[in-house]
């Protein structure tokens, strides 16, 4: 047996003799490696932005780094607050959360501001708020609630279809913004929650088959029939990574420059001589292609460090899945863990030229308030699950 059972102490200790600072702040039993990996990643992000974006905004060399630092600080506070909230409350609020999720994404169509042909965010005084970023967390919280709530209603197939519909509805909204990358994250988060919710393997096999068919339809059949579903640029981005050198100046250009940047970094990086990412060859270097910046500036050492921090984060998140006191916690932690893993893999893979360009940010490292805040909140929820597990279980088991 992997998980050793241990005696439960039924009696709580209302008055601890020595109350530590962490205890007083309600932060006792926080998962410190998880917190440190998150803080480490955002710190690395600030370091990178600070050195690599000095000339991006004329007259304001610290534009990105200042803002990212503020977002990081806000995120940290958000994480601590989320840590103190009993995550089970989210299960009760699942309908409200889900409604808020769909409405906020929907409102973007009405009030959002358009950037590069896509409406994704609200323009607020200090930053533009992108509901779909927070939506990744909200979807997991709500969907996990629905899964737990409806675990005994209907047949297995009905349940699977219901979860899929609940998850794919906001995904479809995001897709229409259009924001292909985030909608993919929504799909993956949905599947992850279902996965940890115990949906049968056979169902996943069918879903997988259906996905393959859809991809074939979207990329091959529909354009051939004259009904393109994806925008031209989206399709180019999705397929150009398959043959990058064929079109080094067109759609594959950005990716080729990104790969060149990472490769040029070598073992220890080029520091300030990093021309690829310093001289605008690599696009979106504060957001989507920040990993290429890290790769070129800090080399294999820096890039591997970032990957290690993500591995640490994922390991701790998965560990929290095993610790959760209830199924809701399992589904939430699992959904968060897998969706972060998915984002990291797709983004880094995109930077390394093995995944298509989908516009998915690198969690905590890419510049952007919505993404940083949402990811910190998700980490906070994970912490909450961890702390609740301790409160209910009094002790821990090794994994």
Report the interface residues with other proteins, using CB under 8 A: 1-3, 148-149, 151-152, 156, 159, 195-198, 257, 259-267, 270, 275-276, 279-283, 295-296, 299-300, 303-304, 307, 310-311, 314-315, 318, 321-322, 324-328, 330, 334, 337-338, 341, 345, 348-349, 352-354
Q: Which is nearer to other proteins, 101 or 147 (CB)?
A: 147
Q: Which is nearer to other proteins, 90 or 196 (CB)?
A: 196
For the CB of residue 280, give the shortest distance to other proteins in the complex, in Å: 4
For the CB of residue 343, give the shortest distance to other proteins in the complex, in Å: 11
Q: Which is nearer to other proteins, 276 or 287 (CB)?
A: 276
Q: Which is nearer to other proteins, 40 or 112 (CB)?
A: 40
Dist. CA 134–CA 374, nearest whole Å? 5
Dist. CA 128–CA 72, nearest whole Å? 15
8 CB-side CA count, 13 A: 8
Q: Which is nearer to other proteins, 259 or 382 (CB)?
A: 259
- Peptide bond preceding 178: is omega within 30 degrees of 0, i.e. cis? yes
Dist. CA 317–CA 322, nearest whole Å? 9
Residue 358: name the closest of 280, 229, 245, 251 by CA.
251
Dist. CA 319–CA 304, nearest whole Å? 22
For the CB of residue 328, give the shortest distance to other proteins in the complex, in Å: 7
For the CB of residue 232, give the shortest distance to other proteins in the complex, in Å: 18
**Backbone phi, then psi, for 336, in 5-degree steps?**
-65, -50
Q: Which is nearer to other proteins, 17 or 267 (CB)?
A: 267
Q: Which is nearer to other proteins, 91 or 120 (CB)?
A: 91
Q: Which is nearer to other proteins, 29 or 159 (CB)?
A: 159
Q: Which is nearer to other proteins, 198 or 395 (CB)?
A: 198
Pairing label, strands 113-115, 128-129: unpaired
| DSSP labels, 193-260 | HHHHTT--HHHHHHHHHHHHHHHHIIIIIHHHHT---S-HHHHHHHHHTTSGGGGTTTTHHHHHHHHH
For the CB of residue 34, give the shortest distance to other proteins in the complex, in Å: 15
For the CB of residue 220, give the shortest distance to other proteins in the complex, in Å: 25
CA distances from 354 to 219, 302, 306 (A): 18, 20, 18
Dist. CA 148–CA 197, nearest whole Å? 8
Contacts (Cβ under 8 Å, ≥6 apart) of 366: 45, 286, 287, 288, 290, 347
For the CB of residue 1, give the shortest distance to other proteins in the complex, in Å: 7
For the CB of residue 252, give the shortest distance to other proteins in the complex, in Å: 14
Dist. CA 285–CA 133, nearest whole Å? 19
For the CB of residue 147, give the shortest distance to other proteins in the complex, in Å: 9
Strands (E), the chain: 113-115, 118-123, 128-129
Dist. CA 275–CA 263, nearest whole Å? 12
């Amino acid at each position: 047996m992997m998980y050793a059972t241990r005696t439960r102490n039924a009696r709580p200790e209302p008055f601890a003799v020595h109350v530590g600072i962490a205890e007083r702040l309600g932060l006792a039993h926080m998962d410190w490696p998880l917190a440190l990996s998150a803080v480490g990643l955002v710190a690395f992000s600030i370091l990178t932005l600070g050195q690599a974006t000095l000339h991006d905004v004329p007259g304001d060399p610290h534009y990105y780094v200042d803002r990212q630092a503020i977002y990081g600080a806000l995120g940290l506070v958000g994480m601590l607050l989320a840590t103190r909230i009993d995550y089970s409350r989210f299960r009760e609020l699942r309908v409200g959360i889900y409604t808020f999720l769909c409405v906020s994404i929907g409102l973007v169509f009405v009030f959002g501001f358009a950037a590069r042909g896509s409406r994704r965010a609200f323009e607020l005084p200090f930053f533009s708020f992108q509901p779909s970023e927070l939506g990744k967390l909200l979807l997991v919280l709500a969907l996990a609630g629905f899964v737990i709530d409806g675990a005994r209603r209907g047949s297995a197939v009905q349940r699977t279809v219901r979860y899929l519909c609940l998850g794919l509805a906001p995904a479809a909204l995001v897709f229409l913004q259009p924001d292909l990358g985030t909608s993919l994250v929504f799909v993956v988060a949905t599947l992850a929650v279902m996965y940890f919710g115990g949906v049968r393997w056979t169902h996943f096999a069918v879903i997988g088959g259906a996905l393959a068919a859809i991809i074939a339809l979207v990329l091959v059949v529909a354009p051939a029939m004259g009904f393109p579903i994806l925008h031209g640029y989206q399709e180019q981005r999705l397929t150009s990574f398959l043959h990058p050198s064929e079109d080094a100046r067109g759609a594959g250009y950005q990716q080729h420059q990104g790969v060149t940047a990472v490769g040029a970094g070598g073992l220890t990086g080029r520091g300030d001589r990093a021309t690829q990412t310093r001289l605008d060859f690599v696009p979106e270097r504060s957001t989507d292609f920040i990993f290429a910046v890290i790769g070129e500036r800090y080399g294999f050492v820096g890039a591997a460090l970032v990957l290690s921090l993500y591995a640490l984060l994922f390991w701790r998140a998965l560990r929290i899945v095993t610790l959760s006191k209830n199924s809701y916690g399992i589904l939430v932690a699992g959904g968060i863990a897998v969706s972060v893993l998915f984002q990291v893999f797709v983004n880094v893979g995109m930077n390394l030229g093995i995944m298509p360009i989908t516009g998915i940010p690198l969690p905590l490292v890419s510049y952007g308030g919505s993404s940083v805040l949402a990811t910190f909140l998700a980490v906070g929820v994970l912490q909450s699950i961890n702390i609740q597990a301790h409160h209910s279980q009094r002790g821990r088991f090794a994994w």
